[in-house]
Amino acid sequence: MAGSELKNKTIRGLFWGGFNSGMKQVVSALIGIVLLSKLAPGDYGLVGMLAIFTGIAGTLQEGGFTSALANRKEFSHDDFNAVFWFNNIISILMYVVLWFCAPLIADFYGQPELVRISRVLFLAFVFNGLSLAFNAYLFRFLMVREKAAIEIIASIVAGLAAIFLAIKGYGYWALVVNTVLMSFVASLLRIIIVPWKPTFKMNFRPVWEMFGFSFKLVIASFVTQLQNNIFSVVLGRAYTEREVGFYSQGNKWTVMGQTMISGTINSVAQPTMARVTDNAERSLKVFRKFMRLTACLVCPAMIGLAFIAPQLIQVINPEFMPSVPVMQLCSLGCIALSLSNMYSQMNIAHGRSDLNLLVTIIGAALQIAMAFVVYRYGINVIALTIAICNFVILAAWQLISGRHVGYTLPMLLKDLLPYAGLSVLVVTAAFFATRFIHNAALLLCAKLVVVAVLYVLALKILDSAIYREARVFIKRHWRR
C-alpha cells in the first residue's frame, strides 16, 4: 500500500474511531449519570464482583483471532468461517460451565443474589460469540465507520432499557440488562451489516494455523484480566458491597475515559503498523506518531478528569463522594496504561506476541503481589498502588519491547512529557480561573470549558503537527 494511501486510510480510521469512541463514551456517560443517580453503591458492587469472570471468559472466547486475522497477509472465506464456528462452540461451552459455577461464585463472595445475576449476565458471552468473526472482518478491513454505527446504536438501545429498569426500581438488574442487551444488539447488527456470511463447511485448519500466534495473545489477555480485576476479587472478600461499589464506580469513569482514547487509536493502530513492518525506519516513524497521538489525547483527558472528579460526583450523586480519590488516582495511572497499550499493539503488528506475554506476566506478578500487600489499607491506597504499578509496567514495556523497533527511553520522554507538562499547566490555569465559583454544577462546566479551550489554543500556538493534521482533515471533509 502506498504511503499516501495508507496515511489517508489511517487518518480516516482515526477520525471514525474517534467519533465511535467519543460517541460511545458520551452515551455511556449520559447513561451512567442517570443510573448513578438511581442506583445504590451496593448495586454496582454486586455486578462489579463478577468483573473478573466476565473479563477472563471474554478473553478466552475471543481467542486472539481478531488480531491474528488482521496480521495475515493472505486470507480467505475459510479463515473467517473457521473462527466463527470455533468461537461459537467455545462460547456455548463457557456459558454452560459458568452456569454450573454460579452457586460457587455466590458462595465465594457470600452473596446469594449472584447466582441469578451471573446466569443472566453471562448470556452476553453467547451473543458475543455469534459475531466475533464479523467483528474481526470489520477490524481487518478498517471498516471503522460501520463499526462505529453498530456500537453506538447498541449502546443507546441497551442504555435506554437500563434507565427504564433503574427508574422502575429494579436495581442491579438495570446494569445486568444493559450488558446483555448491548451484546445482543451489537451482534445482530454486525451479522446484518458485514458482507461476509458463514457457511456450514466446518474446516478448522485455519484456526490451528493461527493458534501459535493467537494462543500467546490469549494467555497475555488472560493474565491482564486477572491483573486488572484482582483487586475486585480481594475487595469483594474483604469489604462490603458498598465499598466495592465506591471503588468500582471510581475506576469505571477512568476506564471510560481511557477506553475512549484507546478505542480511537486501536481501531487503526495494529492494521496500520502491520503494513509497514518490512521497513524499519518507517515502522519506527509510524509507531512514534501513534505514541505522540496517544500522549496528546490521554494526558489532558486523564489529568482533566482528575481535576473535575469532585464536582462530577457531587453533581451526579453525592452519596458516591468516597469514590473521588479512587477516580483521581486511577486517572493518573491510566496515562501509563494507554501508552503501554501502544507497545502491545506494536508487538502484535510485528508478530511478537511472545513479548506481549512476557511483559504481561511481569506486570501481573507485580500487581497481584501488591494486591495482597495493600488490600487491608483501604480503597484509596489500593488505587494509588495500581497507579504506581502502571508506571512501573510502562517502564517494563519500554525496556523489553521498545528496542524491538529502536524506540529508546529518550524518545518516549520526548513524545510524552510535552503533552503531560502542557496538560498540568492548563489544569493549573483553569484552577485559578475558576476558583471563585462555588456552585458545583457551574464549576464543573467552567472547568471543562476552560481546560478544553486552553489546551486547543496551546496546541495551535505551539504549532503542533497533530493539531495541523486534524485541522486539515476536518476542513477537507467539512467542505465535502
Q: Where are the domains of the chain?
A: 3-479
Quote the cell numbers at residue 440: 458545583
Residues whose CB falls within 8 Å of the CB of residue 214, separated by 6 or more in sequence, listed in order: 63, 64, 65, 67, 68, 353
Q: What is the DSSP-derived secondary structure letter of residue 350?
A: T
Q: Report if pTM > 0.75.
A: no
Quote the cell numbers at residue 459: 496546541
Among residues 413, 401, 333, the alpha carbon closest in space to that of 367 is found at: 333
**Sign (positive/negative) of CA torsion 134, 11, 28, 258?**
positive
Whole-angstrom Cα distance, residue 22 to residue 308? 18
DSSP per residue, 296-318: HHHHHHHHHHHHHHHHHHHHH-G
DSSP run (H or E) holding 25: helix 3-38
Determine phi and psi for 216, rounding to 5 degrees.
-65, -35
pLDDT of residue 443: 92
pLDDT of residue 479: 47
| Cα Rg of the chain (Å, integer) | 22
Whole-angstrom Cα distance, residue 36 to residue 43? 10
Give every residue of the chain whose pLDDT is below 70, as ranges.
1-26, 29, 56-75, 142, 144, 204, 206-239, 241, 263-264, 266-271, 274, 276, 469-480
pLDDT of residue 233: 65
Whole-angstrom Cα distance, residue 269 to residue 97? 35
Angle at 387 between CA 385 and CA 392, to 5 degrees: 90
Whole-angstrom Cα distance, residue 254 to residue 257? 5
Whole-angstrom Cα distance, residue 98 to residue 118? 8
Whole-angstrom Cα distance, residue 1 to residue 272? 10
Q: How many CB atoms lie within 10 A of CB 400?
A: 17
Among residues 316, 343, 326, the alpha carbon closest in space to that of 444 is found at: 316
Whole-angstrom Cα distance, residue 172 to residue 178? 10
Quote the cell numbers at residue 415: 513524545
Whole-angstrom Cα distance, residue 368 to residue 229? 9
Judged by DSSP in three states, 171 sits in coil
Are 30 and 161 in contact by the 8 Å Cβ rule? The answer is no
Give strand ranges (E) for 143-214: none
Whole-angstrom Cα distance, residue 125 to residue 476? 41
Determine phi and psi for 23, rounding to 5 degrees.
-65, -40
Quote the cell numbers at residue 471: 485541522
Whole-angstrom Cα distance, residue 178 to residue 157? 9
Kindly list the distances between the CA atom of residue 140 and the CA atoms of 267, 268, 272, 291, in Å, as whole numbers in the listed order: 10, 9, 10, 22
